[in-house]
Amino acid sequence: MLYTAFVVSSIVEDNSIGDKIDSHNVQLLEQVLNARLQLAAYGPGLQGIGVVFLGTDPAEDGIHEEEWRFEASTGELYLQLRLPYALLEQASEQEVLRLMGQRYVQGLREAAELVPEFDWEGLLVDVQGVVTNDEFFE
């Protein structure tokens, strides 16, 4: 059971790439989404979205895979989304945050078919507005 409408977490390696994801980007993305968006505004069917970002080298990580799962009994959508590992090494912390925002939107698009009675178009527009807003990166 999710503790709030938007939950963001990560699975990362214990290195500089993991630090860029977990430093404060995970908390920031979760806080901003919960502060600016209300899932109820987009219709019934979805009570929460939990996203886990994978910041591990896919060539060495045989355990964690991308996943999209909807639990109808709780109305919760769970996504496990891989970040582009090759780009993470050279990226600054802010650039990693942008990559997380982009992957978040893409992941929602990919999961939309799991909850067809939901206003995905409205949510996607609003999430895109949040994660591309320059204030988000200050």
Residue among 31, 30, 10 at smallest CA distance from 85 = 10
Q: What is the pLDDT of residues 77-132, one digit of tens each?
A: 999 999 999 999 899 988 999 999 999 999 999 999 999 989 999 999 999 999 98
The pLDDT of residue 133 is above 90:
no
> Does residue 1 form part of some domain?
no
Residue 118 contacts residue 43 (beta carbons within 8 Å):
yes
* pLDDT in the model for residue 137: 61
| The token pair that represents 46 in the structure block | 């979805």
Q: Is residue 32 part of a domain?
A: yes
Q: Which residue has the tokens 């990559």?
A: 99
For 73, the domain range is: 6-137
125 within domain boundaries: yes
The count of structural domains within the chain is: 1
121 within domain boundaries: yes
The confidence score (pLDDT) of residue 138 equals 60
> Is pLDDT of 60 > 90?
no
Decide if 119 is inside a domain. Answer: yes
What number of CA atoms fall less than 13 Å from residue 105's CA on the CB side? 17
